[in-house]
Amino acid sequence: MIISDIISLDRTQCSVECQSKKKIFEIISEIAIKQHPSLNQVDVLNSLLCRERMGSTGIGNGIAIPHGRIEGISNVIAIIVTSDHAIDFDAIDNQPVDIFFALLVPKEQADSHLRALSGIAQKLSDKSIVKAIRRAQNKNEIVAALA
Protein backbone atom coordinates (compact mmCIF):
# COMPACT_ATOMS: atom_id res chain seq x y z
CA MET A 1 0.00 0.00 0.00
CA ILE A 2 1.27 3.44 -0.95
CA ILE A 3 0.50 5.96 1.80
CA SER A 4 0.15 8.86 -0.65
CA ASP A 5 -2.81 7.02 -2.22
CA ILE A 6 -4.89 7.25 0.94
CA ILE A 7 -3.91 10.62 2.47
CA SER A 8 -5.21 14.03 1.43
CA LEU A 9 -5.10 17.63 2.59
CA ASP A 10 -8.83 17.74 3.22
CA ARG A 11 -8.54 14.88 5.71
CA THR A 12 -5.56 16.33 7.58
CA GLN A 13 -5.52 18.78 10.48
CA CYS A 14 -2.54 20.30 12.23
CA SER A 15 -2.26 21.22 15.89
CA VAL A 16 -5.87 20.78 17.02
CA GLU A 17 -6.89 21.61 20.58
CA CYS A 18 -7.67 18.40 22.37
CA GLN A 19 -7.46 17.10 25.91
CA SER A 20 -8.88 13.58 25.67
CA LYS A 21 -8.98 10.40 23.66
CA LYS A 22 -12.73 10.71 23.14
CA LYS A 23 -12.37 14.26 21.83
CA ILE A 24 -9.72 13.27 19.28
CA PHE A 25 -12.06 10.50 18.07
CA GLU A 26 -14.85 13.08 17.74
CA ILE A 27 -12.54 15.33 15.69
CA ILE A 28 -11.56 12.41 13.45
CA SER A 29 -15.25 11.52 12.98
CA GLU A 30 -16.11 15.11 12.06
CA ILE A 31 -13.35 15.21 9.45
CA ALA A 32 -14.58 11.90 8.02
CA ILE A 33 -18.17 13.02 7.52
CA LYS A 34 -17.16 16.38 6.05
CA GLN A 35 -15.38 14.55 3.27
CA HIS A 36 -17.82 11.63 3.06
CA PRO A 37 -21.30 12.97 3.88
CA SER A 38 -22.87 9.55 3.33
CA LEU A 39 -21.15 8.34 6.50
CA ASN A 40 -22.85 8.60 9.85
CA GLN A 41 -20.72 10.41 12.43
CA VAL A 42 -22.03 8.31 15.32
CA ASP A 43 -21.19 5.10 13.44
CA VAL A 44 -17.65 6.31 12.72
CA LEU A 45 -17.14 7.40 16.33
CA ASN A 46 -18.56 4.14 17.70
CA SER A 47 -16.35 2.09 15.39
CA LEU A 48 -13.22 3.89 16.64
CA LEU A 49 -14.30 3.66 20.29
CA CYS A 50 -15.20 -0.04 20.03
CA ARG A 51 -11.82 -0.88 18.54
CA GLU A 52 -10.05 1.17 21.20
CA ARG A 53 -11.85 -0.73 23.98
CA MET A 54 -10.15 -3.90 22.73
CA GLY A 55 -6.75 -2.30 23.40
CA SER A 56 -5.01 0.98 22.84
CA THR A 57 -4.01 1.86 19.30
CA GLY A 58 -1.20 4.00 20.73
CA ILE A 59 1.88 2.35 19.21
CA GLY A 60 4.47 4.35 21.14
CA ASN A 61 6.68 7.35 20.47
CA GLY A 62 3.67 9.69 20.71
CA ILE A 63 1.85 8.00 17.82
CA ALA A 64 -1.56 6.32 17.61
CA ILE A 65 -3.20 4.55 14.70
CA PRO A 66 -6.88 4.43 15.64
CA HIS A 67 -8.93 2.44 13.19
CA GLY A 68 -12.37 1.07 12.61
CA ARG A 69 -14.32 -0.95 10.10
CA ILE A 70 -17.08 1.01 8.44
CA GLU A 71 -20.08 -0.24 6.50
CA GLY A 72 -20.76 1.51 3.21
CA ILE A 73 -17.27 2.57 2.13
CA SER A 74 -15.34 0.92 -0.68
CA ASN A 75 -11.81 2.24 -0.03
CA VAL A 76 -9.57 2.87 2.95
CA ILE A 77 -9.92 6.42 4.29
CA ALA A 78 -6.99 7.93 6.17
CA ILE A 79 -7.36 10.90 8.50
CA ILE A 80 -4.29 12.54 10.00
CA VAL A 81 -4.47 14.84 12.99
CA THR A 82 -1.80 16.32 15.20
CA SER A 83 -2.71 17.84 18.56
CA ASP A 84 -1.31 21.02 20.05
CA HIS A 85 -0.42 19.08 23.23
CA ALA A 86 0.11 15.37 23.64
CA ILE A 87 -2.76 13.59 25.38
CA ASP A 88 -2.95 10.52 27.57
CA PHE A 89 -3.83 7.63 25.27
CA ASP A 90 -2.84 4.48 27.19
CA ALA A 91 -0.14 3.85 24.58
CA ILE A 92 2.04 0.77 24.86
CA ASP A 93 4.97 2.89 26.11
CA ASN A 94 2.72 4.88 28.51
CA GLN A 95 3.71 8.11 26.75
CA PRO A 96 1.15 10.72 25.67
CA VAL A 97 0.21 10.93 21.98
CA ASP A 98 0.23 13.91 19.60
CA ILE A 99 0.17 12.22 16.17
CA PHE A 100 -3.01 10.39 15.16
CA PHE A 101 -3.16 8.50 11.87
CA ALA A 102 -6.71 7.16 11.76
CA LEU A 103 -7.94 4.57 9.30
CA LEU A 104 -11.49 3.82 8.30
CA VAL A 105 -11.64 0.60 6.34
CA PRO A 106 -14.43 -1.19 4.49
CA LYS A 107 -16.08 -3.67 6.81
CA GLU A 108 -15.59 -6.58 4.43
CA GLN A 109 -11.94 -5.94 3.46
CA ALA A 110 -9.84 -7.39 6.29
CA ASP A 111 -6.67 -7.80 4.22
CA SER A 112 -6.64 -4.18 2.98
CA HIS A 113 -7.07 -3.17 6.62
CA LEU A 114 -4.00 -5.13 7.66
CA ARG A 115 -1.93 -3.89 4.70
CA ALA A 116 -2.85 -0.28 5.50
CA LEU A 117 -1.95 -0.68 9.18
CA SER A 118 1.35 -2.31 8.32
CA GLY A 119 2.28 0.35 5.76
CA ILE A 120 1.47 3.20 8.12
CA ALA A 121 3.32 1.64 11.05
CA GLN A 122 6.36 1.14 8.81
CA LYS A 123 6.22 4.75 7.55
CA LEU A 124 5.85 6.11 11.09
CA SER A 125 8.80 4.08 12.33
CA ASP A 126 11.02 6.47 10.35
CA LYS A 127 12.18 9.02 12.94
CA SER A 128 12.83 11.71 10.32
CA ILE A 129 9.22 11.50 9.12
CA VAL A 130 7.89 11.71 12.67
CA LYS A 131 10.12 14.73 13.39
CA ALA A 132 8.89 16.44 10.21
CA ILE A 133 5.26 15.81 11.21
CA ARG A 134 5.89 17.27 14.68
CA ARG A 135 7.61 20.34 13.19
CA ALA A 136 4.78 20.88 10.70
CA GLN A 137 3.07 24.25 10.95
CA ASN A 138 0.17 23.32 8.67
CA LYS A 139 -1.49 20.36 7.01
CA ASN A 140 0.49 20.80 3.78
CA GLU A 141 3.70 20.11 5.70
CA ILE A 142 2.19 17.03 7.36
CA VAL A 143 1.12 15.55 4.01
CA ALA A 144 4.51 16.43 2.47
CA ALA A 145 6.29 14.61 5.31
CA LEU A 146 4.26 11.47 4.63
CA ALA A 147 4.33 11.57 0.82
Catalytic residues: 67
Contacts with 58 (C-beta within 8 Å, 6 or more apart), sequence order? 64, 89, 90, 91, 92, 93, 95, 97
Long-range interactions of 109-114: CB distance < 8 A, separation 24+: 109/76, 112/1, 112/76, 113/67, 113/69, 113/76
Helix-helix angle 139-146:127-135, to 10 degrees = 170
Half-sphere exposure of 57 (CA within 13 A, CB side): 26
The C-alpha atoms of residue 139 and residue 90 are separated, in whole angstroms, by 26
